[in-house]
Each structure stands twice: as structure tokens, then as C-alpha cells.
Amino acid sequence: MENQSFPTTVDAWNQETITTLEETNHPETTYLEYKAHLEYPDGESTPKSEWRADLEREFTAFGNASGGFIVFGMTDDQVAQGIEPPDHEVSQSVTQLIHETTPVVTTDVKSIPAPHGETNRIMVIVKVHEATRKPVATRDAAYSVRINDHKEPMNREQIESLFIETDRRQQAIRQLEFELESFIETYEATFDTYRQTMDAPPEYHLIDNEGLKEAFRETTQFSTNEQVAGIVQGILKKPLDIVSAEWQYGRMYNDIVSTTFADRTQLNKEMRTQFSGDVDRLRELINQLVVQTDLSASA
């Protein structure tokens, strides 16, 4: 959802955002949908079951595409009329709409005051995340996908393609979990107990840099979350720092390049301190990744 004319996180939405959409007659897009009502409205001619099923398809369509926003309280002709606040938490109203999707659609929800008048009406902003396991089905086993500014039923080829892609992603996740577990085991067996001594640094080639890099290359879904993507970048950079430092250590130890250290004892001590910090930081980043995602590894 890059390069959009509206915020990409619900926290950044406010009354000014809504007013801008209204005043510019901002149309619905691949990533933006307007809905006048969050709950079944009085006087609606469509049966409630059909009304709810149609709304459920809007959520799953975003989940099966690249995600997007549904703005409740905004009419199709860009009038921010707002909705009456429900008797319970707004997020509960959203949960009631999606809890029977398979898998359950992931959302972020925020309510803000409607921009007009002194009423207590609100706007509800819902970010629908792209599903990590596709395709997402409604409770009546319907599959939809967001195309341009509307949802479309998926054909058999599209559904099969998403199942295949999901299987590929799951295999990539399993390989990544294997690589992370391998590093954790190496860390605990080799690096966790050492600190500053008189000896040379330990065998840093035990860290499978290429295995980690390849596993992350195949696991593309992390790029959609800025915070997780930043952690991944840190994980990929830190082994390169370690390899570079180890290479430089070898050159200094063998007198290929000059050093400012008094002797090899001081060189070993300083390099072990640096290596210790680098490896500990890599372990910390992996812990953060496991906490932020559903990866199965020892945090």
C-alpha cells in the first residue's frame, strides 16, 4: 500500500484524513472501500444474512489481495455521515463480522469522531491485513479478491494458485525456523558461555550466513510489516558484520595489516569483545523476530 493518498496505519488516521477524502471526492481504490454502516441498518431491503455475507466478502477480498482499508460511516459518494456508536467496543462489531472467516482475517480498528456537527457519530477505520495463509474463505465457503475498486469472486484457477503459493510459503517458513533453531543451538553451545579471555575468538564460521540469507529470501511475507522488515534487515546485516570483523582479525593476527594493538593478547581480547557484542545482538534480533511473528523457534 505504498504511495497512497491516505495513511497506511490506522493510528495515523484522524478527522483531517476523513475531511480530505470527502472534500476531494476521493474514489474507492484497490486499497480503499467505503461502507455507510457497520451494523445492519434499519430499513435495509436486503435480508440481514445477505447483507452480512456481502460485507464478509469485502474483508476476505482484501485478505486475499494485498490488504486495504474499509472506512465505515462514509457513503459511496464520499459523504462522511458517520455511524451511531455501538453499545459495545467498536472492535467487537468488526470481530462479529469476520470471526467465521477461514482463516480469520487480521484487522486493526480505530474510531474517530465524525467531522460534521456536534453529534456523537463516529467514523470507524479498519485496516484489513493481507492474509499470510491464502485463500481466505467466508463462512459460506465463498472466495473473493480485491480487484481495482471492488471485490470479485475467485475462479478455480485463482483459488488453486493461492493454495499452491500458501504451501510454498509454509515450506519457506519451516526452512527459516530450521535455520533460526540451528543458530540458537550454535549460540547456546558455542557463544553463550564465552566472554573476554586471552584466547582467539571462537569459530564464527559455525554461523550459517548463507543459510539464513537464503531462508529469508524465500520468506517474502515479512516485507509487508515495516517493523518486522526492519528486524529482518538487522538479522541479515549482522552476520555480514561478523564475517567482515573475523576477516579483518585474521589479517591483523597474521601481520598482513598493521594494528594499533600492543600484542596478540590485546588483539584477542578486543576482538572477542566485538564478536561477543555482534553475536549477542544477532541473538536479540532473532528473539524480537520470534516475538513479533508466529515463528516456532526458541525465543
Average pLDDT estimate for 179-205: 71
pLDDT score of 202: 56
Per-residue pLDDT at 2 exceeds 60 = yes
Comparing 168 with 144, the larger pLDDT belongs to 144
Q: 10-154: which CATH number, 3.30.950.30, 3.30.70.1350, 3.40.50.2300, 2.40.70.10?
A: 3.30.950.30
- Domain segments of the chain as ranges: 10-154, 166-292
d(CA 27, CA 4): 12
- Summarize pLDDT for 78-109 with one digit per residue, the tens: 999 999 998 889 999 999 999 999 999 999 99
Percent of the chain with pLDDT over 90: 49
Q: What are 39-48's contacts with CB under 8 Å, separation 24+? A: 39/83, 39/86, 39/93
Comparing 204 with 60, the larger pLDDT belongs to 60
Rg (CA), the chain: 26
At residue 18, φ and ψ (nearest 5 deg) are: -65, -45
113 strand-pairing partners: 122
Is the link from the previous residue into 103 a cis peptide, with omega within 30 of 0?
yes
Average pLDDT estimate for 43-62: 95
d(CA 295, CA 162): 21
Q: Which of 298, 299, 277, 276 is nearest to 288 (CA)?
A: 299
Which residue intervals of 111-225 are DSSP H helices? 156-186, 209-218
- Summarize pLDDT for 213-264 with one digit per residue, the tens: 888 888 877 776 778 889 999 988 888 888 888 888 888 888 898 888 888 8
Q: Which of 279, 260, 259 is nearest to 201 (CA)?
A: 279
- Summarize pLDDT for 106-133 with one digit per residue, the tens: 999 999 999 986 778 999 999 999 998 8
Comparing 192 with 48, the larger pLDDT belongs to 48
- Summarize pLDDT for 54-66 with one digit per residue, the tens: 999 999 999 999 9
